[in-house]
Amino acid sequence: MTATRRTLIAGNWKMNGKSADGVALATSVGGKMKSAAGASFDMLVCPPFTLISKVGEAIKGSGVMLGGQDCHTNVSGAHTGDISAEMLKDMGCGAVIVGHSERRTDHKETDELVAAKASAAHAAGLIAVICIGETEAERDAGKTLDVNGSQVAGSVPAGSNAKNTVIAYEPVWAIGTGRTPTNDEVQEVHAFIRGELAKKVGANEAAAMRILYGGSMKPGNAKELIALADVDGGLIGGASLNADDFWAIGEASN
């Protein structure tokens, strides 16, 4: 964390939540943000597509940003089941997650596709939260930096800058497992990613671009992770489904 980059606490609800619990969660998070007036961090919630409208209503005026979990590369057309970045923007979203490891695995998304999705997000006026991260086998094989370097090279499109792009480093083996890398390991990868970003977007933009850590971030470990020099917040899955835990992670960044 550095004073020049504003901390972002982003919640990825994944395929969780029906109307009543989703609205209750969003209302609680929005209420906390509103009563904190002038919080020193930004907050983003990314509900499933089915809840975007209701969550948008629930957090209206609170300062919490609304986001999607994925978008198509096209603006519109014959793509059954898909949602475009423009549609998300139309629903009041300010951001969209692209390239989450679960989409890379479940839907065989490649770096090239992720970059195209990020470009579509930029064109729609959304912040692209681009996810990268190594698997456990890649880490064990000593390939962590190589994998993350090549994902930065392949998934961050031309036109990316510190205003329209956030990177989320999420070691795949840490997602939902309760395991995390050591603080030194996290800082090493984040600093490396920032260096690779500089090759793509220039040193100034790379220095200003937020790089979030994701993977079993919780109230109990958030403070030490977010305090690391190149960690600018978190992308949070499980703990974002509990308003008190999610808020506590935000407060841990103060």
Distance between CA atoms of residues 100 and 213, nearest Å: 13
Structure tokens at 171: 């070691």
State the DSSP code for 135. Answer: -
Nearest CA among 192, 193, 253 for reference residue 217: 253
159-178 footprint of ligand PEP as x/- string (CB under 6 A)? -----------x----xx--
Cβ–Cβ under 8 Å, residues 92 and 47: no
DSSP run (H or E) holding 58: helix 52-59
Q: Would you say 86 or 156 has its CB closer to ligand PEP?
A: 156
Q: Which residue is nearest to ligand PEP (CB)?
A: 237
Q: Would you say 100 or 194 has its CB closer to ligand PEP?
A: 100
- Indicate whether 238 belongs to the interface with ligand PEP (CB under 6 A): yes
19 to 4, 48, 93, 200, 225: CA distances (angstroms): 38, 11, 18, 41, 33
Window 7 to 46, contacts with ligand PEP (CB under 6 A): 12
Structure tokens at 82: 């898909």
Active site residues: 100, 170
- Indicate whether 217 belongs to the interface with ligand PEP (CB under 6 A): yes
Of positions 30, 171, 237, 250, contacts ligand PEP by CB under 6 A: 237
Closest distance to ligand PEP from the beta carbon of 191 (Å): 20
**Helix, strand, or coil here: 235?**
strand
Q: Which stretch binds ligand PEP (CB under 6 A): 83-91, 111-119, 188-196, 233-241?
A: 233-241
Q: Would you say 44 or 86 has its CB closer to ligand PEP?
A: 44
The contact set with ligand PEP (CB under 6 A) reads 12, 170, 175-176, 214-217, 235-239
